[in-house]
Every structure is written in structure tokens, then in C-alpha cells.
Amino acid sequence: MKIRRNTILRDTILDGFVAQNLPDRKIDEPWHVSDLIYCLRKSFWGRTDPLPPTPRQAMLFMTGKGLANELTGGEPEEEYTLDGIVGHPDYVKLYPPWEVKTTRKKVDDNPQSILEMKTWMEQIMCYMRMLKVTQFTLVEMGLMGDYKPPFPSLEVWELEETWDVIEANWQEMLRRRDVLEDAMKGLGLPPMSTLLDKKGGRWECRECAYLLRCSWIL
């Protein structure tokens, strides 16, 4: 049997997925929740001078979208808008609504491991605010399980938060939205990501398509 690596078809598959699911954002469209919970500088450049996602980023997004589609029966995400911010919870036909996440981190049954996922918590609290609910279901698929051995595993978490905390999180999102709006007016470049890994490194930067651009500025 002859085997030949087909990089052209591989790139065509990835490019097709990106074009359908991760199109360039229009410069005047509303900010999405996902723009506000990650690096604001990346969100700004994604509007003003976008670069395509790296192959690894595209594959991670493809994996997560595939899982969400499978668990929700392929139901299209519903769009919600509040204070000029757009959100797309994964599944709202049940109560509590669902958010589906994939991760490469070690998965265990300790709730503290979920609280450490800062961006997940911020995103879900945004959806709580938009839907006016205080409870949410998080479906977590660990691509590597607990690494003993590395094998996919699934956990489901029921989340509940007070309205005061949900509202405080929303006010922080409004502040970040305003930072991006000021940047769009030429009032200064947004800050880099402040999300650090356990070793103190900026984990968002490692796979970021804009890393070289940031290094020029620094």
C-alpha cells in the first residue's frame, strides 16, 4: 500500500471550517462575550487587522464545536444581546441552560478545578445575566481525561451564583467593552492578556496568531 501525505486537502478542510465558522468580523458589529473574556488586544486586532487562526486554534475550536453539536442534537445557538454585547449559549431549551466545553487540562471530580477556569466562569455568568438566571449546567469534556491513561472523559457540573456576583461580572464586561470601544476610536491599544498559567506565563500568548505583532510593540 502506498501512502502519501496530502497537506493540500488537509489545509482545504481547515480553511473551509474556518471560513464557515470563524469568518472575519465586521469592524462595526457588536462585541461578543468571547471578545471580552480573553485578551482585549487580540480582540481589537481581530476587528481592525485580522489574521487567520493558527491550525491548532482551528482544530481546538473544531473539536469543541463538534462536541457541542453532538450533545445538543445540532440545534443552532440562539443569539442574545444586552448592552450592545452579543452572546450565544450552547443550549437554552432546558433549565438550567447548558454550556459545553472541551479542555486539555486534567479532569477530576473536584469542583475547585472548575472555579480555576476563570474565563469559563466569566462567560457563563455573562449568559446568566443575559438570560436572567442564576443557575447553569456546564458539560466538560476532558480530551485527555485524568492522563492515567490519557483518554477522553466527561463531567457535568451544576453551577449557581448570586445575582450580585453575576451583576458585578457584567459590569466588568461593560468596562472591557468600553476599553475596546476607546481603542477603536484611536485612544490607545488595549492591554495584553493578564491570564497566567501556574508557572506565571501568559498561556493565551503561546498559540496566538498575533504574538509576533505584540513582540514588535513590546
Reported as a single tens digit per residue, the pLDDT across 177-216 is 999 999 999 888 888 776 555 554 566 777 788 888 887 7
Write the burial class of residue 173 (CB in 10 Å: 0-12 exposed, 13-18 middle, 19+ buried): buried
Locate all alpha helices (DSSP H) within the chain, ordered by sequence.
Answer: 7-21, 33-37, 40-48, 55-71, 112-115, 118-131, 163-184, 203-206, 211-217
Contact at 8 Å (CB) between 32 and 86?
A: yes
In sequence order, the β-bridge partners of residue 20 are: none
CA atoms within 13 A on the CB side of 202: 13
Nearest to 139 by CA among 87, 90, 79, 80: 90
Locate cell 493578564: which residue? 194
Euclidean distance between CA atoms 206 and 182, whole angstroms = 26
Euclidean distance between CA atoms 42 and 17, whole angstroms = 21
DSSP element (H, E) containing 39: none
Q: Indicate the pTM of the whole model.
A: 0.84
What sign does the CA torsion over 33, 26, 77, 104 have? negative
Strand order in the sheet with 135-142: 98-103, 135-142, 153-160
Nearest to 170 by CA among 159, 182, 178, 158: 178
Euclidean distance between CA atoms 176 and 195, whole angstroms = 14
Euclidean distance between CA atoms 20 and 37, whole angstroms = 23
User: Which pLDDT does position 194 carry in this prediction?
Assistant: 63
pLDDT one digit per residue (tens) for the chain, 218 residues = 999 989 899 888 888 877 777 666 777 789 999 999 989 999 999 888 888 777 777 777 777 777 777 777 777 778 899 999 999 998 888 889 989 888 877 777 787 888 888 899 999 999 999 999 999 999 988 776 666 777 777 889 999 999 999 999 999 999 999 999 999 998 888 887 765 555 545 667 777 888 888 877 65
User: Which pLDDT does position 196 carry in this prediction?
Assistant: 53
Domains of the chain and any CATH numbers: 27-217 (3.90.320)
Contact at 8 Å (CB) between 162 and 125?
A: no
